[in-house]
Amino acid sequence: MLGRQFPQVKTMLLEAAGDITAFADFPPAHWKKIWSTNPLERLNREIKRRADVVQVFPNPAALDRLAAAVLAELHDEWQVFDRRYLSEGSMAELFTDKPAPQQQIPAQAEPNELH
């Protein structure tokens, strides 16, 4: 459908097919978590919450330091706590000796070209 009305979009999507389907190289158990932006939204809310407490920063570097401190704290939590966003067992599946399947998206004919 996009090919007739928006040929540039069709071209862009076909060229980006490898990037768009990169998640398929991961185990299916990871797919929903890769699609999700929940961790990023949670991180942004935490930075905003802490910035609201301060209210006025003397310079942009001070805000950068606050954001870096939040990121460092999150990193430390991910290193120490047993609760993980992606389990160790599912991550182990990434390191098997199985070759990664090659994803190919075939170019589809336009609907009016089928007849």
> Phi and psi (nearest 5°) for 32?
-65, -35
pLDDT digits (tens, 9 = 90+) for 59-102: 999 989 999 999 999 888 877 777 777 777 777 777 775 655 55
- Tell me the backbone φ, ψ of residue 81, rounded to 5 degrees: -75, 150
70 Cβ contact partners less than 8 Å away, ≥ 6 residues apart: 43, 46, 47, 50
**DSSP 8-state assignment for residue 87:** -
Task: Tell me 115's DSSP state.
Answer: -
Mean pLDDT, to the nearest integer, of 9-25?
Answer: 87
Express as a percent the part of the chain with pLDDT over 70.
81
- Calculate the average pLDDT of the chain: 79
